[in-house]
Amino acid sequence: MRRFLLTVLLLLLLGTLLMAQAGVGDVNAEDGEDENFFEKNVKFTFTLTNDFMFLTFPAATEEYIVGNIDEDLPSFVDNLGMGTTEFFADKLGYKDTYWIRTDLYLQASLTPKATLYYLMAIRVLNQDSGIQDDFNYLILQCEIEQKIGDMYKLRMGRLIEKYSKSRFFGRIAQGGSDSHVFGRTPFVNDAVEITVNSDKAKFPLGAAIGMKYKYKPIDYSALYVTPHFEFPFGKNSFGGYYTYSLIKQQYEDLKPLFPSFDDDDHDRFYHAMEAELAFNFGDIVTPYANMGFLMDYVGVAPHFSGPRDILRGNEPIIDDSTESISETMTTAFGISLAPSSITGKLDFFKEALAEFEFAGMGNDIKANNFYGHLRFEIKNITFHYGLYRNHIVSDEMINLNDSGGNIILAADELNIFEHFIRITTTF
């Protein structure tokens, strides 16, 4: 709470200084000059959002198998009238949610070549009771961008990255387990980065080279490079990107997962790679394909550990680094359609998207996921609908545990659907 109040105070202070500067500009302005410094140099937007998230489950047709416990004990989950996934989700505390969200965005030109970007989301969860658990905030962007000539930019702070068309971006690239799937925690990237933009030289290849850091205390997290390109041909274009990261795993994070680690063991490193190709046909249809994997990785499989995934890191655990490529191999195929670009009669219908993802291609446990998204804009109000299906299949029965390690049940398939409805306006 103190950090939140301090953030708000700094924003108010910055706004006061900028408005004060604007006042000075009004007094001293010469003929032909812009008299309002604030309007010229500062962009401030305020977004109000209502988010609804509903869970649905398959019918109760599965047969339960309790985990490895005394066979003489009765199968207490028989005939409960709910499916395996619903029973598991209930034990883990999954429930429908409702958020009231406010986003504050600030963009300020500090100098002709230096710009500040700031984006903070404030959320009231389920009910406004006034207690800490029903309120949180998240700083999504806090970045200073310094232009160096026409081709380079130095970016520092909390950066927002978006190279990919895929809504599943972020599971592999730069070691993030978060995703851009609607309703999930946004991909956060605390880093120092140099961006190369060669548009001025009429060369289609750009790149971002950076170093991520974390706080334990402050420490190196990852070194990454992301070349990206776009080739236009007529009204169409062909583009893509590739990301390579060298990521550090800290010993204290791995020790609870692998008690066999000796005290002499130290931090280790692994590699992450992700690539995507996309075609844009007249800003109407955009098909794309995305693939990524981890090399020399041990730990919780990141593709099964997102905040909207049913397993949430319970399984699988990758303990053999030599098999991490096949066990983390993830591919996604999607297509995005902009109906508003087809005809003016559909001007309100901005996007229809479908994407399929296949995770853990060489693992005993696999995920076959789907995400669909519709976006409509009516005047200054935007409506979203998203459907995320998280389907887990296993070659054999696996024990599913709660956070305390207690066996809840054993299953070889889980299937959960999450519906997202968002109503938002910006002014």
Decide if pLDDT at 309 tops 60: yes
Q: For residue range 54-105, what is the model confidence (pLDDT) as tens digits?
A: 999 987 765 555 555 445 444 555 556 678 888 888 888 888 988 888 999 9
Stretch 189-205: mean pLDDT: 80
Give the structural domain span for 287: 2-426
CATH of the domain at 300: 2.40.160.10
Helix (H, G, I), strand (E, B) or coil at 27: helix
Helix (H, G, I), strand (E, B) or coil at 258: coil
Q: Is the peptide bond before 58 cis (omega within 30 degrees of 0)?
A: no
Per-residue burial over 311-337, b if 16 or more Cβ lie within 10 Å, else e, is: bebbbbebeebeebbebbbbebebbbb
pLDDT at 308: 75
Strands 268-281 and 285-295: antiparallel
CA 224, chain centre distance (Å): 17
pLDDT at 386: 92
Residue among 198, 274, 199 nearest 241 (CA): 274
Count structural domains, the chain: 1
- CB-side neighbour CA atoms (13 Å) of 190: 8
Q: How far apart are CA 403 and CA 296, in angstroms?
A: 27
Stretch 393-415: mean pLDDT: 79
> How would residue 8 be classed by pLDDT, with cut points 50, 70 and 90?
very low
pLDDT at 270: 93
pLDDT at 1: 47
Q: Are 420 and 385 in contact (CB under 8 A)?
A: yes
Q: In the numeric block, which tokens belong to residue 56?
A: 């649905």
Give the residue carrying structure tokens 């305390």. 404
Helix (H, G, I), strand (E, B) or coil at 28: helix
Q: Are 195 and 156 in contact (CB under 8 A)?
A: no
Rg, Å, the chain Cα set: 24
pLDDT at 383: 96
Q: Give all strands (DSSP E) within 60-151, no chain letters.
A: 97-111, 114-125, 135-148
Q: For residue range 347-371, what is the model confidence (pLDDT) as tens digits?
A: 999 999 999 999 886 668 888 999 9
Most trustworthy range by pLDDT among 36-40, 82-86, 199-203: 82-86
CA 3, chain centre distance (Å): 23
Residue among 324, 212, 335, 356 nearest 279 (CA): 335
Decide if pLDDT at 254 tops 50: yes
Most trustworthy range by pLDDT among 18-22, 44-48, 137-141: 44-48
- CB-side neighbour CA atoms (13 Å) of 358: 8
Question: Which percentage of the chain shows pLDDT scores above 90?
Answer: 34
pLDDT at 220: 85
CA 389, chain centre distance (Å): 16
Residue 194 forms beta bridges with which residues?
A: 154, 209
pLDDT at 28: 46
Stretch 313-328: mean pLDDT: 83
Q: In the numeric block, which tokens belong to residue 81?
A: 């009238």
Decide if pLDDT at 261 tops 80: no
Q: In the numeric block, which tokens belong to residue 132?
A: 């800490």
Stretch 417-421: mean pLDDT: 92
CA 212, chain centre distance (Å): 16
For the entire predicted model, the pTM comes to 0.82
Q: Give all strands (DSSP E) within 14-81, no chain letters.
A: 42-56
Stretch 313-334: mean pLDDT: 85
> How would residue 6 be classed by pLDDT, with cut points 50, 70 and 90?
very low
Q: Give all strands (DSSP E) within 112-235, no chain letters.
A: 114-125, 135-148, 152-159, 189-196, 205-215, 218-233
Min mean pLDDT across 236-240, 301-305, 332-336 is at 301-305
Mean pLDDT of the chain: 80
CA 206, chain centre distance (Å): 23
Q: Exposed, middle or buried, 116 (CB in 10 Å: 0-12/13-18/19+)? A: middle
Residue 385 forms beta bridges with which residues?
A: 374, 421
Report which of residues 150 and 79 the model is more confident about. 150
> How would residue 176 be classed by pLDDT, with cut points 50, 70 and 90?
low
Most trustworthy range by pLDDT among 262-266, 305-309, 403-407, 411-415: 411-415
